[in-house]
Structure 1
Amino acid sequence: MDKMLVTTTENIPGQPYTVIGEVFGLTTQSKNLVRNIGAGLKGLVGGEIKDYTKMLDESRNVAVERLRENAAALGADAVVMMRFDTGSISQDMQSVAAYGTAVKFTTAN
């Protein structure tokens, strides 16, 4: 699949469209033992916990790709108004949701 346009804006300049509906991309990642040990040590001295940052970045990328797949399955050409939501499911699990509005391009009248 070619990279489908995903934008946080409501409008795509010069591109009229019709709304298909809501689309989502979800993923849940668990922290492994090495990350937990590293985070515990970093918690003592402060600063960025790079393994967690990397995990969240990877999760965000997976969520956006799943969003694109959901939109493509509905026949969409793009996704507008994309947003992220994150949360902890438990002490060791983090979820990332990407959501937006799937649209189909139309020709201007």
Structure 2
Amino acid sequence: MEKILVTTTENIPGKKYEIIGEVFGVTTQSRNAVSDFGAGLKSIVGGEIKGYTKMLTTSRIDAIERLRQAALDVGADAIVMMRFDSGSIARDMQSVVAYGTAVKFI
């Protein structure tokens, strides 16, 4: 895939661009029984739940890659003002969305 610049800032230094519009990439992942068991134990003694951390890290990476593909699909050169949002679906699923504004350099 062609590399699309993704930035959380509104402006890209040295670049002028026109706005194409909003783009997003979303992924939903489920927790597995082993992670849930480990999470239950960690809730008693405290500490990081590495299975969940890994799941959320993977979800963010997947969401950004889908965001880049969405930008390519509309002919963008970059995405500005990228943000993440996440939430639970039911009890055992986590959804992560990466969204921003697709722009074309002029």
Q: TM-score, normalised by structure 2?
A: 0.98
1:9 corresponding residue in structure 2: 9
Q: Which runs of 5+ in 1 are unaligned?
A: none
**Letter paired with 1:87:** G
Q: Tell me by how many angstroms 1:2 deviates.
A: 2.6
Verify: 1:94 aligned to 2:55, yes or no.
Answer: no
Q: Tell me by how many angstroms 1:3 deviates.
A: 1.9
Q: Which runs of 5+ in 2 are unaligned?
A: none
- Identical aligned pairs, as a percentage? 71
Q: TM-score, normalised by structure 1?
A: 0.95
Q: Distance in 1 between matches of 2:99 and 2:81?
A: 8
Superposed CA RMSD: 0.6
Q: Deviations over 1:12-47 (max 9, x none)?
A: 001000000000000000001111111111111011
Aligned pairs for 1:1-109 within 5 A: 1-106=1-106
Q: Distance in 2 between matches of 1:54 and 1:48?
A: 11
